Chain A
Amino acid sequence: MQTSPKRHTDREYEAELQQVRERLLVMGGRVEEMIGNAVRAVGERDAGLARATIDLDHKVNRAEMEVDELCLRILARRQPMASDLRFLTLALKMVTDLERIGDLAVNICERAIDLRSETRLEGLDTLERMATVVQGMVRDAIDAFVHNDAERAQQVIDRDDEVDELYHVYFRDVLAVMVVGADNVERGVHVQSVAKWLERIGDHATNLAEIVIFMVKGKDVRHAGKLDP
């Protein structure tokens, strides 16, 4: 579902909204890159890549503050209405989710540094698979946001079940490996944490997608059927 290409009569206002959209897009691209790098750093035991990725987080944090400031300024000066109001208030929420995703990627990088001299546990490719899925979810949630595409946002939400399932399977697999040998326990606990954080990233991507649906349709799909009457 695409919105009409109609632009605001006030071109400066139009440009300000566009600026928020672009900043969010850049921020989303950056955290997506951080997720990929973090999991690669774990898999390849690449502490240098992990440190470089941790450094990227400063840019994400800065972007969060910049988007917050921009949104507040527009709210104060323009008193936006309807879809503009939803867009701005939801942009304020989205940056929080994106910033948290960045933090989770940093956590993963820190584990990559801890694991740098450890060998890989065999038969555990699920982490890469999880990373690919959650990266795609974040990317699609941001794309859906930029293009006002509620359908694509719904697909993101639907994919979260796959991430949860991968996490549970992986958790049990790692547990089985840890039971076999005490040497595996420390590595096992680390990679289980990584999997947990990827699963959390999936949850944040789901939040982003729910926000997009509200923005496009004006309908709140959060906690569907799970709230007290």
Chain B
Amino acid sequence: MNAPEATGRFEADEVDAWFGTKQVLRKVNLLIPERRITAVIGPSGCGKSTFIRCLNRMHELVPGARITGRIRLDGENIYAPEVDPVLLRRRVGMVFQKPNPFPTMSIRDNVLSGLRLTGALDRSRAEAIAEQALRGAALWDEVKDRLGEPGIGLSGGQQQRLCIARTLAVSPEVVLMDEPCSALDPIATARIEDLLSELKARYTIVIVTHNMQQAARVSDRTAFFLTGELIEVAETDTLFTSPTDRRTEDYITGKFG
């Protein structure tokens, strides 16, 4: 599935999703351009996290959850029977709300854990990948002298960058981020946001956030979801200054609910 022209472009086409009998996404059509940052915003329960979990087939891991419609990554249907979800998740990594380094692992082993799950690594190659991933996550300078120490000993912001490094170590095309800064202080948040602008040169990034100012600061495009529907998607500058749909306007100006 790793075609040389793979760039991390997603196309969602008429996507519906359910938890049991409860429908949480309705006819979502959304193009996520490669190597740009797309922010997904909307009130709690609007389906934004479910949507990005459909992009790396994590939604189906929940018992009773299902999805219909098509999602293509670089033109290929990610729900085709021949697609191995584990391999897909290497191409489409995810960073979660709460930093979740493996508590018993060192910083180095945390970074390499994804790779080790998929096969043996020789020592020198492992060191090179760990350094590259930690540099990519803007954490290398802070941890290079203590790679053998527990990952859990880092600050919250550093732990989140460690999780980003873990995601980058498997060379994904797409990085999905589900509220990656909501547990972080403003300085740690600024570091992650600064990092995002560097990462988009190499990766497609989709970030779910409750923080509209964050979406406005970091993203190129913004998609607004409401009760499972994609209401509006536009260039971020346009969406936050002159949205076209009244529901978007009401939400982002705080006239909602």
Contact = CB atoms under 8 A, between A and B. Distances in A.
B242 interface: yes
Interface string B217-257: 00000000000000000000000111100101110111111
B242 A9 contact: no
B241 A9 contact: no
A9 B254 contact: yes
A85 B212 CA distance: 13
B216 interface: yes
A9 B255 contact: yes
Interface in A41-85: 79-85
Contacts, number: 40
Interface of B: 212-213, 216, 240-243, 246, 248-250, 252-257
B253 A84 contact: yes
A133 B250 CA distance: 37
A10 interface: yes
Contacts of A219: 242
12 contacts: A4-B246, A7-B255, A8-B254, A9-B256, A10-B254, A81-B216, A82-B241, A82-B242, A82-B253, A83-B253, A86-B242, A218-B242
Interface residues of A, number: 17
Given A82-B241, A82-B249, A218-B242, A8 B255 contact: yes
Nearest to A85: B241
A50 B248 CA distance: 50
Most buried by B among A7, A10, A83: A83
Interface in A71-114: 79-86
A171 interface: no
Contacts of A8: 253-255
Contacts of A6: 250, 255
A81 B242 contact: no
Looking at chain A's contact residues, is the secondary structure mostly helix, strand, loop, or mixed? Answer: loop
A8 B257 CA distance: 9
B250 A85 contact: no
B212 to A, nearest CB: 6
B233 to A, nearest CB: 15
A86 B250 CA distance: 14
A9 B257 contact: yes
A81 B214 CA distance: 12
Contacts of B252: 81-82
Given A82-B249, A85-B241, 10 more contacts: A7-B255, A8-B255, A79-B213, A80-B253, A81-B240, A81-B241, A82-B240, A82-B252, A83-B249, A83-B253
A166 to B, nearest CB: 36
A160 to B, nearest CB: 25
B245 to A, nearest CB: 11
Contacts of B246: 4
Given A6-B255, A7-B255, A8-B254, A82 B213 contact: no
A82 B238 CA distance: 9
Most buried by B among A79, A81, A85, A86: A81
